[in-house]
Amino acid sequence: MHTASDGKLFATYVSPAVTAMIVNGIYSVIDGIFIGQAVGAEGLAAAGIAWPIFAVMIGVGMMIGMGAGSYIGLYRGRGDDGKAGHIIGNTLSLLLLTSLLLGPLTYLLSPPLVALMGASGATAGYAEDYLRIFALFAPVVLSAAALPLLLRNGDQPSLTTWILCIGALLNLIVGYWLIIIREMGMTGAALATVFAQAVVCLLSLYYLQRDDWPIPFRRRDLRPQRRSCQQILHRGLPSLVMFGYFIFFMVAHNWLFLQHGGVVAVAAFSIASYIFAFYGYFAEGIATGIQPILSYHVGSGQQRRVRATVIMALCWVTAIGGVISAIIYIDTDAIARIFNSDDEQLLQMTVNGLRLHLFAIFLDGIIFVSGIYFQAVHRTYVALLVNSGNIAIQIPMLIILPWLWGVNGIWLAMPISNILIAIPVLWIMLDDLRQRRAISTSDESVPPRTAAHDRHDSD
């Protein structure tokens, strides 16, 4: 962390993270293809309806993993591996406790929640089958989201990538066997995902307890302490709010599409969501990849390197987002036909939706990286403001635009909201970076605990 150049350090941590997330993104798209070809529009609609509920568990896992990761990086930057190990132990206990609460709740509440989102008939049945599998394996779902984030903060970025890639490959193979060969539909898709997540968890736990793991933790560190658990949850709260935005986004869009366009519109939105998820995984890879770098440099007082890292991240998410938008517009019809080539009504709806919904996709990357940045540098309340602001702006858009333009208004709600939220987010980000530039000279030559650090840590 201290000796490598900014570019080399960025590549060392971000490249493996992006690779792992892109592999997961590819799997997500292929999973949608399997469901679309084997189950049809109702299966795609069920996946879109079930995802927000399933995402609650992923969001809680991400909250715990990101909160713990930011503290692990901070303590390692200060040279205090003992406190970092204590955080790891408490994280493992916290994952178990929260999953034992969240799993039964998800299982019991899945039917009314699916009905609340407007699903009925076969679509509702598919969605409930999908969710019950994840509820039964809640400890696996939460841990698979959190544990790789711990590994990245222990000088193991490439190892984390290999573990996630193995999980994605197993997901693909088992998913094809269960969905296509065994014709198990949505239940098969869920079982394949849980199996792959279990492998990710087992491999992560194996490396966390190896003798060569750089952040040893003791058995007594597994005893949950109230203050440590509160710190982890508080620091990771922006990640849950971010997933709360995704949940709100999916629920609101699914409900509105059902009202204005029926099951076909929901299926088209599911296809658009698979494409969006591919870019989202890329942005997530960059954001989670830079988190260990940012937290470490905040702990060691190297503000110049904090600035350099986040600027590189913003440039990359903007460039790749622009490329994906261009590819979508070059041949939208071909992209839509990958998921379903028989239903002409679905194809027409999907083509129109992709063009309207994803033309400003790069703004999502900027907002995502900004939220993780403020979380990683311990400005939690600013991260909360960024992530919750997205919901606050999108609510009136989803009320007004469908009233004005019907289905097209629903498709346009996200990009217009992103344009409006990106303006203040970039202003806050640039102001923060200017302050870091002003104090960077003095910070590079003094111990980590300075007035500047205290100001940022106080958030």
Ordered by start, the domain boundaries in the chain are 6-457
pLDDT at 446: 41
Residues 187, 183: Cα–Cα separation, whole Å: 9
String of DSSP letters for 166-199: HHHHHHHHHHIIIIIIS--HHHHHHHHHHHHHHH
Residue type, position 387, single letter = N
Q: Which SS3 state, helix, strand or coil, does residue 201 take?
A: helix
25-35: pLDDT as tens digits: 666 667 777 77
Alpha-carbon distance values, 125 to 49, 128, 259 (Å): 11, 5, 19
In contact, 292 and 4? CB cutoff 8 Å: no
Six token digits for residue 436: 């870091």
198-255: pLDDT as tens digits: 999 999 889 888 877 778 777 788 888 888 888 889 888 887 887 778 778 877 888 8
93-144: pLDDT as tens digits: 999 999 999 999 989 988 888 888 767 777 888 888 888 989 999 999 999 8
In contact, 147 and 208? CB cutoff 8 Å: yes
List the one residue out of 447, 428, 425, 439 whose CA is nearest residue 305: 439
In contact, 307 and 436? CB cutoff 8 Å: yes
Q: Scanning the structure block, which residue is given the tokens 């970076």?
A: 433
pTM of the prediction?
A: 0.73
Six token digits for residue 134: 């994840």
Residues 458, 330: Cα–Cα separation, whole Å: 48
Residues 160, 154: Cα–Cα separation, whole Å: 10
Query: Is pLDDT above 80 for 45?
Result: no
Residues 340, 299: Cα–Cα separation, whole Å: 50
140-182: pLDDT as tens digits: 999 988 888 888 777 667 788 888 888 888 888 888 898 888 8
Residues 108, 113: Cα–Cα separation, whole Å: 10
In contact, 102 and 57? CB cutoff 8 Å: yes
Phi-psi region of 249 (alpha: psi -120 to 50; beta: other; left: phi over 0): alpha
